Amino acid sequence: MPAVLALSGADHAALAGGAARRSALDDPAEWTGFSRPVAGRDGWWESYLSISGMHCAACSLNVEQALCGLPGVDGVQVNGATATARLLWQEGVSRPTAWVGALQHAGYGALPAGDMLSAGPRLQAQRLLLWRWLVAGFCMMQVMMYATPAYVAAPGEITPDMQALLRWASWVLTLPVLLFSCTPFFSSALRDLRHRRIGMDVPVALGILIAFGASSAATFDPASAWGAEVWYDSVTMFVFFLLSGRLLEQRLRDRTAGSLEALMRRLPDSVERQGADGGFERVAVRRLLAGDLIRVLPGEVIPADGQVRAGESRVDEALLTGESTALQRAAGSEVIAGSHNLTGTLLVQVGRIGPDTRFAAMVALMEQASVQKPAMAQMADRIASPFLLLVLLAAAASAVWWWPAGPAHAIGVAVAVLIVTCPCALSLATPAATLAAAGALARRGVMVRRLQAFEACAAVDTVVFDKTGTLTEDRMKVVHATALPGLDPAAMGALAAALGRQSLHPLSRALAGSYTPAELQLSAVQEVAGGGVRALVTPADGSVPRQMCLGSAAFCGIAAAARTAGGPQVHLADADGWLASFWFDEGLRPDAAAAVQALLAQGSRVELLSGDQQEAVTRLGARAGIPASLGARSPEDKLAHVQQLQQAGHRVLMVGDGMNDGPVLACADVSIAMGQAVPLAQAKSDFVVLGGQLSAVPALLQLARRTRSVVRQNLAWAALYNAVCVPLAVAGLMPPWLAGLGMAASSLLVVLNSARLSRTPSGD
């Protein structure tokens, strides 16, 4: 399975601590754990790394620069929100240990992506951040208690010795915050400065150190120029607010990306495999081979694609296909890796394992999407470093401007400017929203291949559907039935279905699938190729049997029934003549009409574009409620039609699944492939609907528009925040503690606003 590295806990420790273990990553046998070959490029691989030590948007550029300069590396994509890097590299020219070494030289750690998905390191990082937050919160409350008298007491009410005692107590309580709670900010800032770059933690760390240093000078020598004011309360409060924002951001990010990571971690580590003696032993999933028989107990996850050989159970495939109802599985049924066995024990013969499973293909799609960044996020990354340089210059200029008013006041203004202008909210505005939306779609069974497509999807005004396999199912259905006056068409359908079960003709099987067959006794069954089936039918009540036939008009000895918009026909007759007729057409997906109506209600233009005959396309379009249906279109005609729509100013979303849909899917502004689509169609698409539910299409458009709105809200808030707070800080009207509160609150508001998108879209 891609991106899941099977290393033990001891291996993790060795990988982190020793060059010998790191060199094992250069073994080609290890590559398949976190890499896969690139289609169409011999000797090229695609690998995923989880990066540690990333704290801001500038870190994404630093990681990209560290890796792009290596020989044999063709492309690097880094997503700061997921701390994941995707590399394209050439075997024999580049090697994994070179990446790890380059990242360590740049001040970052790296592990194959699967390692960082394990619960241990993640929980440890969460606990450490929680402890830092608790220490900052406790010390902040104590320091605020000691600072309160200075704010409320009248001049001269506090004696100098009591004031000195309160300052020394505050200094002691601020030390744990500085030495423990501030470690992430200081280490990140020191790493950036060591490599001659400016990250978002640089102004934060400078603000904290300057405020603490000036306060310490005033505490040690109250008679100096620094003796008028201390900022221990501002320092502790700022650190507490900043850690509060990061803690909540971490929790919300884990919840937002939870469905993505849950899917990647879904396969079990081991399973019971049947041995030569018929007994079962538990083995690692990676040791399974095609043809093995495995036993899946209730509550376990099926580790491979295969076929049930014995047993019966209900299986939950919701996370894989979007199908919310548990499905019945028995001997002969197909099961897929990653689905959850609920009620009974199943004996499954393994068909496809590892990277060949549908599960692995889905994980590959999700990994590819997780490292991509929308254009607005890339722009935010590019402007982060120049903006931070301007922040430092603005702080220095403010300190120089206010220095004549007193060193203490000048330092306070500089600290406020450093803190309040940190562009955390700007850098989070787009990735937080798009990642939340991608998580919501994943829970619905829609995989996002390109995060950039969200921006284009929000502007779509025309939706074009392919017909076969997209709007239709893979079998015919009865769409109209008529019967002899006085007879119930449904009852005749049940009677015909009982006869249809005796035939192998596709229309007979479709008839049997459209009605519940009546309980009848059939004898002397005879099937005539190209004609139909006849039998002696005895009703369940034991009444007199009668000869009946099901098939073509000529076979039944009747004249063909006429229907203007009809498709293929099957007739039912007895010895006395015609009883009923049934018209067939391609089976429309159950939610097709509702999806089309939802799109029309959203104001979208909907078209049907197919290579099938115009009559069949028009008939199906009318059943689905599509206003414009175009048939007899070749792949070149489809492409030309979409290009004409685009030239007319329309933004086109194409939904398809066939091999001939590849060019038009690539040409459309946004493209969706259904879950059963051929690989070419999926490769050209922006989104993949795993379960084939067409209701996901209007839900996607609705969510994309909500995402665009949320991103605009986030960017507007970040711009408004800086437009209001920066002048106040430069004018000396914003104390450092208020600057810290504003900076933390702005980032928190962006994350909370984006988290609203993580709710699964309804498609209404």
d(CA 144, CA 136): 12
In angstroms, rounded to a whole number, what is the distance separating the alpha carbons of residues 642 and 662? 13
Distances (CA, A) of 550 to 249, 505, 530, 717: 66, 11, 12, 70
Nearest by Cα to 45 from 91, 103, 114, 111: 91
d(CA 90, CA 59): 25
Dihedral (Cα; 408, 409, 415, 421), 10-degree rounding? -170
How far is CA 691 from each of CA 361, 661, 677, 751, rounded to the nearest angstrom?
14, 19, 11, 30
Task: For residue 466, indicate whether it is catalytic.
Answer: yes
> From edge to edge, which strands make up the β-sheet containing 280-284?
280-284, 270-274, 293-296, 346-352, 305-310, 334-335
Strands (E), 57-97: 73-79, 84-90
Instruction: Give the pairing type, strands 670-674 and 652-656.
Output: parallel
CB–CB of 759/440 below 8 Å?
Answer: yes
Instruction: Give the DSSP H/E element, type plus range, for residue 424.
Output: helix 424-444
Alpha helices in 478-547 (DSSP H): 489-500, 506-514
CA pair distance 35, 29, nearest whole angstrom = 11
Query: How is residue 21 written in tokens?
Result: 């273990």
User: ∠371-377-383 over CA atoms, to 5°?
Assistant: 125
In 371-406, alpha helices (H): 375-402
Bridge-based pairing of strands 334-335 and 270-274 is: unpaired
- Rounded Cα distance between 510 and 586, Å, is 10
Residue carrying structure tokens 């990066």: 51
CB contact at 8 A, 371 and 77 = yes
Q: Which of 192, 233, 381, 466 is catalytic?
A: 466
Question: Which amino acid, one-letter code, is at 677?
Answer: A
Rounded Cα distance between 615 and 621, Å, is 10
Q: Is the dihedral of CA 160, 163, 169, 172 positive or negative?
A: negative
Tokens 């009946």, residue located? 548
Rg (CA), the chain: 34
Cα first-last separation, the chain: 36
> Running DSSP on this structure, what letter comes out for residue 94?
B
* Helices 232-256 & 424-444 angle (0-180, nearest 10): 20
Q: Which amino acids are annotated catalytic?
A: 466
